[in-house]
Structure 1
Amino acid sequence: MEYYNDPDAPKANTLIPASNLLVVDDHGAILLQRRRDTGQWALPGGAQDIGETAAQCAVRECLEETGIVARITGFLGVYTDPNHIVAYADGEIRQQYETTYIGRPVNGEPTVNDEADAVRFVQPVDLAQYAIHRSMRQQIGDYLAGTYPYLG
Structure 2
Amino acid sequence: MGRTEYYHDPDAPKANTLIPASNLLVVDEDGAILLQRRRDTGQWALPGGAQDIGETAAQCAVRECLEETGIVAYTDGEIRQQYETTYIGRPVGGEPTVNDEADGVRFVPPADLDRYDIHPSMRRQIGDYLAGTYPRLD
TM-score for the superposition, normalised by structure 1: 0.83
* 1:111 counterpart = 2:114: no
How far apart are residue 32 of structure 1 and its match? 0.3
Distance in 2 (alpha carbons) for counterparts of 1:40 and 1:6: 18
Number of the residue aligned with 2:8: 5
Moved more, 17-26 or 1-10: 1-10
How far apart are residue 4 of structure 1 and its match? 2.4
Number of the residue aligned with 1:30: 33
How far apart are residue 147 of structure 1 and its match? 1.4
Distance in 1 (alpha carbons) for counterparts of 2:65 and 2:32: 15
* 1:41 counterpart = 2:56: no
Number of the residue aligned with 1:121: 107
1:99 to 57, 82, 85: 85
2:55 to 32, 52, 56: 52
- 1:120 partner amino acid: R
TM-score for the superposition, normalised by structure 2: 0.92
How far apart are residue 5 of structure 1 and its match? 2.7
Q: Percent identity?
A: 89
Unaligned runs of 5+ in 2: none
Number of the residue aligned with 2:127: 141
Distance in 2 (alpha carbons) for counterparts of 1:105 and 1:54: 18
**Number of residue-to-residue matches in the alignment:** 132
CA deviation vs aligned residue, 1:85-134 (integer Å, no higher than 9, x gap): 21111111111210000000001101000000000000000000000111
How far apart are residue 9 of structure 1 and its match? 1.3
How far apart are residue 51 of structure 1 and its match? 1.2
Distance in 2 (alpha carbons) for counterparts of 1:93 and 1:63: 26
Is the contact made by 2:36 and 2:104 (CA closer than 8 Å) also made in structure 1? yes
Number of the residue aligned with 2:19: 16
- 1:64 partner amino acid: E
Coordinate RMSD, CA, aligned: 1.1
Decide which structure has greater strand share: 1
How far apart are residue 7 of structure 1 and its match? 2.5
Unaligned runs of 5+ in 1: 67-83
